[in-house]
Structure 1
Amino acid sequence: MSGQPMPHEPSGQTIAVWEAMRSGPLPFLRSRWPLRSWAYLFSGALFGVGVLLCLAVLVALGVVLSVVGVGLVVLAATALLGIPVARAERRRLRLIEPTAPADPHGPLLDMGPWGRLRTRLRESATWRELGYTALLAIVFAGAGLGVTVLLAFSGMLLVSPVVVWALAPETVMIIPGRAVGHPLAALPFSLCGALGLALSAYAAGLLAGAQVRTAWFLLAPREAQDDHRVIELTRSRARLADAFEAERRRIERDLHDGAQQQLVALTMTLGLAEMELGAKSPAAADLVARGRGEARRALDQLRDLVRGIHPQVLTDHGLAAAVAEVALRNPVPVTVDIDLPRRLPGQVETMAYFAVTEALANAVKHSGASAISVVGRLEGDRLILLITDDGRGGADPDKGTGLSGLADRMAILRGRLLVSSPVGGPTQLRVEVPCSA
């Protein structure tokens, strides 16, 4: 059957039972597909009749109780009936298809019953499932019962010679107005039964395939829903990154304007105290000088900490200058070749900077490299960084080398990390960050 592929349709955009029917009459009739189709339709007919009764009862109650206001709640519950029916149908679909559609509904957050009800009623998947429920109860259940009746009647005709033989010499009324008194006289009816079985097998296959395609169309997630979820996830990750950036800047500002200035003031105060003591108390002056030295070291460590949180050179001069400054402090010689035509968005520069610093730290700690190179270019709308070292190689994210955390950091802006590290080296990390993320 030709046509446009459905969203999330089975692999190859085909219906398995229809493909089996194309193989020819004998292979199809000898296969398990007729049995599976009959089982699928018969179980669906029984299930559909039960669903029809539930729909009739709920709608009748909703109409009757609408005069007292409770009917609206009952009718809302009727609209939600399609959700459990669709869940059961997705499971029952495995009788006839190797795969089943995924649940199209989004997660329910921690909210009350009314909030959950409003969330489900606002989803288009709920109304598509209700439509499928109505089709199942009215159309597919009736068609399934019709195929079942044809199957049962064909089976009776097929075994008619055995029935005549068992009841002989009395005549047997196989069809109204036609009495058969000998098994051989019932053979034409048996032939009609065989043809009826073949007809019911093909009818079951066609109907089961149509129901499968309808189920995939109405019960599977839509691409628009997936795109919406991806957009929401991307926006939430961007908001999270913005929140982290704002918190980082607050901490940096507090350290710079608070603790750092207090240490500077403490150093100056200790210097004045040392000058006042002078020769009056050499021992006390020596202690004050030692305290002043400790304060200076604490101030240097605090400045390094602030620089590690977010270097000022990154804000003022961009990624290339910040990476060059890191390279000067690195114990292993680092060659930096970052040529960018313009300043990149702040989040991209921050992400790339910390990716480089993490990669350099890993190379120094684990690779035993004697030289490292950092190359950065802008290709289209993506920042590409290549960090290469001549170390021993064998870098594995599963061994706790920090690569998995670096990859997680990249994922915040929909970037990715590619690692090439054969045993014996060299190791190359390719960092790709989209500038429009």
Structure 2
Amino acid sequence: MTTRVTHLADALRLRHYLLTRWPWRALAYLVTTVPIAGVLCVGPLAVAAPLLAAVNGVRRDTNPVSLPLLAFLTLGALLVVAAAPLVSFPVAALERWRLGIVDGRPMPARGWPGLAARYTTATGWREAGHAFLLAGVVPLVHWVVLLAILVDLTLVAGPWLADDGNQVVLGWTSVDTPAQAVPYALLGVALLPALWYGLGVLAAAQGAATRWLLDPPADSAQLREVTRSRARLVDAYEAERRRIERDMHDAAQPRLTSLTLQLGLARLDVAEDSPAARPLAVAHDQARDLMTLIRQIVHGIRPQSLTELGLAGAVREIAEESTVPVDVRAAVDGPLPEIVETTAYYVVSECLSNVARHAGATRAGVRLARTGGRLTVEITDDGHGGADPARGTGLTGLADRVAAIGGRMLLASPTGGPTLVRVELPCRP
């Protein structure tokens, strides 16, 4: 997770939101909505106004619905629905561009798919639904908000409006003198920040609805199948990894150990001044080095400390070997799935290695916590920050490893530090 705020929904969580540029962007988004919604509401209003009049007449038994009126309403409604997929196409293109005012996340543009596709695809009707949202719901909400703003401004201006001795209505009450209006004016001033914040909430909600309708998520069935296939690949990889580990540990490593012992015994039987002594010594040393290398490879596949000590103990062992002092806090109760333990171990190992090599930190911390069905791993340091996954493959590889088992990795590393890496892994039994 980067520290840069890219859309209004996140900006609303900032403590100093009212002092940022985001309230003004929210206001610009709402104001530019007005002419678009005003044009779009003409068609539905042409049908809704006579319909409401007819319903009101029937309710009062003064004006029964005539056949021409019924035909007009039916034909008008059909024309509005039929035109919606066509009218909504340019509106959707404009809205995708305009959404950038409050949401900087990219939204793919869509070209003209053909006339038939506008009536036969879900995209066409979702865009039509967005047009009806702008034509019907948005104007009503904007009118309510505008009324609230006018009431609040009336409260603030109450002392000046009552200055000439005339009775002034301030929302739910009336006043005759400026002194009576002062408490209401103070209330109006106190409500201004809430209204300013409320405009941001309204703009964020409208932007979220726009993104949901114009940029629909991937097909849920297809997404579930992709998730299942990824889980199957991870399980297959883990099974193959365990097989390789067993083969190297149970077959290759004992045979190499035996070879090293045989070469050592042969060195004892060969005189030092023999022509074969030197090559035999070199072969013996290479066999020992190769045995050490295989142990390291086996350790890299599945660290022995992870098997013997568990996740908390293995992390403490990594911390003790780090060149930077590391404080470890672990609250992990009960067994964890093997893939979760392995992933968390390598996340801590890679992050502490990055701290030692790149962060310039004097201290680091690791926190392990299991809450419900989720394991949280946090690695912090007091270094100079500025960690960027785009500048290397380490963090990107960790993110891919975490995502492969359904977890997520968040990064906060502003320039000047500190750096926080947070990993959340599902660990349901």
Q: Indicate the SS of the match to 1:422.
A: coil
Q: 2:233 aligns with which of 237, 240, 249?
A: 240
> Does residue 310 of structure 1 match 2:322?
no
Q: Is the 8 A contact 1:383 1:434 kept in 2?
A: yes
Partner Cα distance (2:130, 2:284) in 1: 76
Q: Give the letter for the 2:256 counterpart.
A: L
**What are the within-5 Å matches in structure 2 for residues 1-400 of structure 1?**
20=41, 38=79, 41=82, 88-90=119-121, 93=125, 96=128, 98=130, 228-279=221-272, 281=273, 284-400=276-392
**Cα distance, 1:326 vs. partner?**
2.6
Partner Cα distance (2:82, 2:370) in 1: 58
Partner Cα distance (1:39, 1:341) in 2: 61
Unaligned runs of 5+ in 2: 1-36, 51-74, 86-114, 133-213
Partner Cα distance (2:331, 2:48) in 1: 66
Indicate the RMSD between aligned Cα atoms, in angstroms. Answer: 4.2
Q: Give the letter for the 1:238 counterpart.
A: A
Q: Which moved more, 1:352-361 or 1:240-249?
A: 352-361
Deviation string 1:341-398 (CA, Å, 9 cap, x unpaired) is 1111112111111211221222233223333221111122211111112222100112
Partner Cα distance (2:394, 2:263) in 1: 42
Q: Indicate the SS of the match to 1:430.
A: strand
**Cα distance, 1:228 vs. partner?**
4.2
Q: Is the 8 A contact 2:377 2:423 kept in 1?
A: yes
Partner Cα distance (2:332, 2:129) in 1: 53
For residues 323 and 92 of structure 1, do their structure 2 counterparts lie closer, same or farther at Cα, with a shift above 3 Å needed? closer
Partner Cα distance (1:20, 1:306) in 2: 69
Partner Cα distance (1:435, 1:354) in 2: 16
Q: Indicate the SS of the match to 2:358.
A: helix
Q: Is the 8 A contact 1:376 1:385 kept in 2?
A: yes
Q: Indicate the SS of the match to 1:332.
A: coil
For residues 87 and 270 of structure 1, do their structure 2 counterparts lie closer, same or farther at Cα, with a shift above 3 Å needed? farther
Q: Give the letter for the 2:255 counterpart.
A: Q
Q: Give the letter for the 1:418 counterpart.
A: L
Q: 2:417 aligns with which of 415, 425, 428?
A: 425
Q: Is the 8 A contact 1:395 1:401 kept in 2?
A: no
Q: Indicate the SS of the match to 2:420.
A: strand
Partner Cα distance (1:239, 1:273) in 2: 49
Deviation string 1:122-170 (CA, Å, 9 cap, x unpaired) is xxxxxxxxxxxxxxxxxxxxxxxxxxxxxxxxxxxxxxxxxxxxxxxxx
Partner Cα distance (2:234, 2:420) in 1: 27
For residues 255 and 230 of structure 1, do their structure 2 counterparts lie closer, same or farther at Cα, with a shift above 3 Å needed? same
For residues 40 and 246 of structure 1, do their structure 2 counterparts lie closer, same or farther at Cα, with a shift above 3 Å needed? same
Q: Indicate the SS of the match to 1:320.
A: helix
Partner Cα distance (1:431, 1:41) in 2: 49
**Cα distance, 1:320 vs. partner?**
1.2
For residues 285 and 228 of structure 1, do their structure 2 counterparts lie closer, same or farther at Cα, with a shift above 3 Å needed? same
TM superposition score normalised by structure 1: 0.50
Q: Give the letter for the 2:41 counterpart.
A: A
Q: Give the letter for the 1:274 counterpart.
A: R
Partner Cα distance (1:24, 1:357) in 2: 64
Partner Cα distance (1:264, 1:333) in 2: 37
Partner Cα distance (1:293, 1:88) in 2: 76
For residues 259 and 371 of structure 1, do their structure 2 counterparts lie closer, same or farther at Cα, with a shift above 3 Å needed? farther
Deviation string 1:199-219 (CA, Å, 9 cap, x unpaired) is xxxxxxxxxxxxxxxxxxxxx
Partner Cα distance (2:352, 2:284) in 1: 34
For residues 396 and 42 of structure 1, do their structure 2 counterparts lie closer, same or farther at Cα, with a shift above 3 Å needed? closer
Q: Is the 8 A contact 1:241 1:412 kept in 2?
A: yes
